[in-house]
């Protein structure tokens, strides 16, 4: 029995040594990946841009990137959802579809794409002021058609309050509905989202997102981009931005303010003189319907959208086939058609 216990102890020591060796090996690999990633990151940030997508302008004593396409009399301003590493590439199909009839401006908020990091808080009002500053810096007069996706819907709502004369029409794609905070499930979902996204330092520092974009390209819809006809150059820029702009510190500041930004707009409704098209992806509608069936939430997505309407003759809600927050890849032409109506 004594020999058996000794043998077990020896085996346990060997197991501990093996596990320790594996952990040390993993730590070395992670450290090497982190060093290589950050070397590449510094090189990529400072190398000359050959994509034609980099056009830095001065906004609030900082540098923001904006791309302008088309030469129409009317201007569509594309505002990205939170966490989009490369809005200019992500929403390129919107821009391509609209630029034959409109001038199209795609903004990359501070900390997004080629823009520098944010120096200020990420509140609704600050975003609205920065959008205003960017359009003035570009020398493009209003009124504008805003195409706002996801969290940018809140910045568009705020802009419409601050600068109503600047807005010709709002087009909201899978927007945020601040009233939904009254729902217990949504409230918890927002809290969890804010918490989960605060743990992205590892992915950002180690270059995990860079590796994932090659190992699992469908995670970032890169396979879908190829099917849509994005060029190799577009995909190269997109991958570079995923590597260097994956949930940046600016985005984390924005996410930290998400609930406060929603609370400030809980009583918001569209001005009754303002044309609005609210676009819901079928995937988002189905997701909320499934939650209702499970008894987790009570209000349909369409009802939240209709709750913002004050003039049904010029404010509408429509559903377009596609996954939640992915209509820019799933059905860009249908979104463009909704704008041109």
Per-residue pLDDT band at 45 (split at 50, 70, 90):
low
What is the residue whose two structure tokens read 């570009």? Answer: 138
Residue 287 has pLDDT above 90, yes or no: yes
C-beta atoms surrounding 86 within 10 Å: 26
Q: For residue 247, what pLDDT is reported?
A: 82
The 10 Å Cβ neighbour count of residue 169 is 18
Compute the distance between CA of residue 73 and CA of residue 70 in angstroms, rounded to an integer: 10
CA dihedral of residues 230, 204, 199, 212 (deg, nearest 10): 50
Residues whose CB is less than 8 angstroms from the CB of residue 134 and which lie 6 or more positions away in sequence, other chains included: 57, 59, 64, 66, 107
Q: What is the DSSP letter of 178?
A: G
Which of 2-16, 57-71, 74-88, 267-281 is least confident? 2-16
**β 103-108/62-69 pair status:** antiparallel
pLDDT in tens, 120-141: 899 999 999 999 999 999 999 9
Residue 254 has pLDDT above 70, yes or no: yes
pLDDT of the residue at 5: 61
Q: What are the two backbone dihedrals, phi and then psi, of residue 164, each rounded to the nearest 5 degrees?
A: -60, -30
Average pLDDT over residues 113-117: 91
Mean pLDDT of 107-126: 93
| pLDDT exceeds cutoff 70 at 113 | yes
Least confident of 46-50, 105-109, 146-150, 190-194: 46-50
- In the chain, count of helices (H) and strands (E)? 16, 8
Peptide bond into 259 cis (omega under 30): no
pLDDT of 245 strictly over 90: no
Q: What is the pLDDT of residues 214-233, one digit of tens each?
A: 888 888 899 999 999 999 99
Cα separation values, 178 from 155, 181, 267, Å:
12, 6, 8
pTM of the model: 0.86
Domains of the chain with bracketed CATH: 56-200+247-340 (3.40.50.1820)
Dihedral Cα 189, 153, 202, 110, nearest 10 deg: -160
Whether residue 120 contacts residue 249, with contact meaning beta carbons closer than 8 Å, is answered with: no
Q: What is the largest CA-CA distance in the chain?
A: 91
Q: What's residue 314's pLDDT?
A: 97
| Helix/strand/coil for 1 | coil
For the chain, percent of residues with pLDDT exceeding 70? 82
């Amino acid at each position: 029995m004594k020999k058996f216990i000794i043998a077990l102890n020896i085996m346990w020591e060997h197991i501990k040594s093996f596990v320790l060796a594996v952990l040390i090996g993993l730590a070395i690999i992670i450290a090497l990946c982190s060093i290589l990633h950050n070397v590449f990151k510094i090189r990529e940030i400072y190398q000359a841009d050959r994509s034609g997508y980099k056009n830095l302008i001065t906004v609030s004593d900082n540098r923001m990137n904006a791309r302008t396409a088309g030469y129409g009399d009317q201007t569509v301003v594309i505002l990205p959802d939170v966490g989009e590493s490369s809005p200019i590439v992500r929403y390129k199909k919107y821009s391509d579809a609209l630029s034959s009839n409109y001038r199209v401006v795609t903004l990359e908020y501070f900390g997004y794409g080629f823009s520098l990091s944010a120096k200020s808080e990420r509140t609704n009002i600050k975003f609205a002021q920065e959008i205003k500053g960017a359009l003035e810096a570009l020398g493009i007069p209003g009124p504008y058609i805003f195409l706002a996706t996801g969290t940018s819907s809140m910045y568009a709502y705020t802009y419409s309050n601050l600068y109503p004369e600047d807005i010709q029409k709002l087009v909201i794609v899978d927007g945020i509905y601040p009233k939904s905070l009254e729902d217990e499930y949504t409230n918890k979902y927002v809290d969890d989202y804010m918490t989960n996204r605060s743990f992205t330092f590892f992915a950002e520092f180690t270059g995990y997102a860079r590796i994932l974009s090659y190992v699992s390209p469908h995670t970032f819809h890169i396979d879908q981009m190829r099917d849509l006809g994005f060029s190799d150059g577009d995909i190269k820029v997109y991958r570079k931005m995923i590597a260097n702009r994956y949930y940046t510190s600016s985005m984390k500041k924005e996410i930290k303010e998400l609930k406060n930004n929603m609370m400030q707009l809980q009583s918001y409704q569209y001005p009754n003189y303002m044309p609005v098209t609210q676009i819901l992806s079928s995937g988002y509608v189905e997701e909320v319907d499934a939650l209702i069936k499970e008894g987790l939430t009570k209000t349909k997505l369409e009802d939240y959208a209709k709750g913002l309407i004050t003039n049904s003759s010029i404010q509408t809600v429509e559903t377009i086939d596609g996954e939640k927050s992915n209509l820019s890849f799933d059905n860009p032409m249908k979104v463009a058609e909704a704008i041109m109506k």
